[in-house]
Structure 1
Amino acid sequence: MTNDSRPGMDIPETAQLPYRPCVGIVLINPDGRIFTARRSDTPEAWQMPQGGIDPGEAVDAAAFRELHEETGVSNARILDRMPEWVTYDLPEHLIGKVWGGRYRGQKQMWVAMAHDGDDRDIDLAHHAPEFDAWRWSTPEMVLADIVPFKRGVYSRILDQFSPYFVQR
């Protein structure tokens, strides 16, 4: 069977690609709001910080590294972790175009972190910027603003960490 969006790539080949190991961070401010940032390469998409786990790197170390690289924040602490890894598959039109075509999607471990500083700590240009704007969001805003193929994963994450959010 051939996949129409990628001539010559059959579905079994795509299914055999591995998932990219990744950490995701739900950064929560003292008001119970969630940090989200707008992707500079996809302006209609807002997401929480996340990124690859380096070979041999512990999940917690990756979470602190990615948080600092993407937001400039280093004044945070881990509150909780997902009880299991979550996965998502890329849409077919993105397979082969991101991550060097080596992965079918991501296998993520999500952590909830408290932001113990203030908004002045946030610096999107601190490292190689992936984002061009940020805000503190409600869970509803997070789900409304994430790209559709990640919405199911984000729903699970937000359900897991809901005791940490202010429900208004």
Structure 2
Amino acid sequence: MQKAKKYRPNVAAIILSSDYPLKCRFFIAHRCDIKGAWQFPQGGIDEGESPRDALLRELKEEIGTNEVEVLCECPEWIKYDFPKNMAKKIYAGFDGQIQKYFLVRLKNDSLIDIQTPVPEFDKYDFVDYERLLEQVTPFKKEVYKQILNYFKKVGYI
């Protein structure tokens, strides 16, 4: 009998630049600990914390600001499995993550600072949709397509 997979509760932010809706550019960042891994900011939900509170906390911890306007929250939770070679290295005991996605827009005076007390990223960029899907880490690409398609369907992208 196969054991049930265990997923870590998580939030993820799709951040649009402050010039949205005139331009639709997405924030992606390169992880310090995994060479070539570009992704959206994300992080675990603490015990008793709401997904929205976790989102704001994670943004402050990872990009130095939580000065964002929440445009939309995906009603579904999205699961993904860690690649076999990463599962034990990242979060022992979990097979993957189950994520609540938020689409947010940076407020006009928001300043991104990835040199946080515990940096997760060493560089970042704002990219268009095509470049985003070319640049993100391969094992997250299908999840990103799925969630971006949802936000497109509901009229935000």
* Fold equivalence (TM over 0.5): yes
Residue 25 (structure 1) aligned to one of 9, 13, 25: 13
- Which AA in structure 2 matches 1:132? D
Residue 135 of structure 1: how far off its partner (Å): 0.8
**Counterpart of 1:149?**
139
1:135 corresponds in structure 2 to 125
- The offset of 1:129, in angstroms, is 0.5
Retained in 2: the 8 A contact 1:39–1:46?
Answer: yes
Shift, 1:142, TM fit: 1.7
Q: 2-side partners of 1:164 and 1:43: how far apart?
A: 31
Q: Number of residue pairs matched?
A: 151
Structure 2 residue ranges without an equivalent (≥5): none
Deviation at 1:36, TM superposition (A): 0.6
Q: Deviations over 1:76-106 (max 9, x none)?
A: 121001120000011112222211x110000
Gaps of 5+ in 1: 1-10
Aligned AA (1:127)? P
RMSD: 1.6
In structure 2, what is the Cα distance between the partners aligned to 1:95 and 1:134? Answer: 25
**Cα distance in structure 1, aligned partners of 2:35 and 2:83:** 18
Secondary structure of the residue that 2:70 maps to in structure 1? strand
Q: How does 1:91-106 map to 2 (within 5 A)?
A: 91-99=83-91, 101-106=92-97
Shift of 1:118: 4.2
In structure 1, which of residues 88, 92, 107 is the aligned counterpart of residue 98 of structure 2? 107
Check the 8 A contact 1:32/1:164 in 2, yes or no. Answer: no
Instruction: Report how far residue 73 of structure 1 moved.
Output: 1.6
Higher Cα Rg, which structure: 1
The reply to whether residue 81 of structure 1 matches residue 77 of structure 2 is: no
Matching of residues 9-88 of structure 1 within 5 Å:
12-13=2-3, 16-29=4-17, 30=19, 31-88=23-80
Q: Are 2:113 and 1:123 aligned?
A: yes
TM-score of the pair, normalised by structure 2? 0.89
Aligned counterpart, 1:3: none
Structure number with higher strand proportion: 2
The letter for the 2-side match of 1:108 is Q
Aligned sequence identity (%):
37
Following superposition, the deviation at residue 109 of structure 1 comes to 0.4
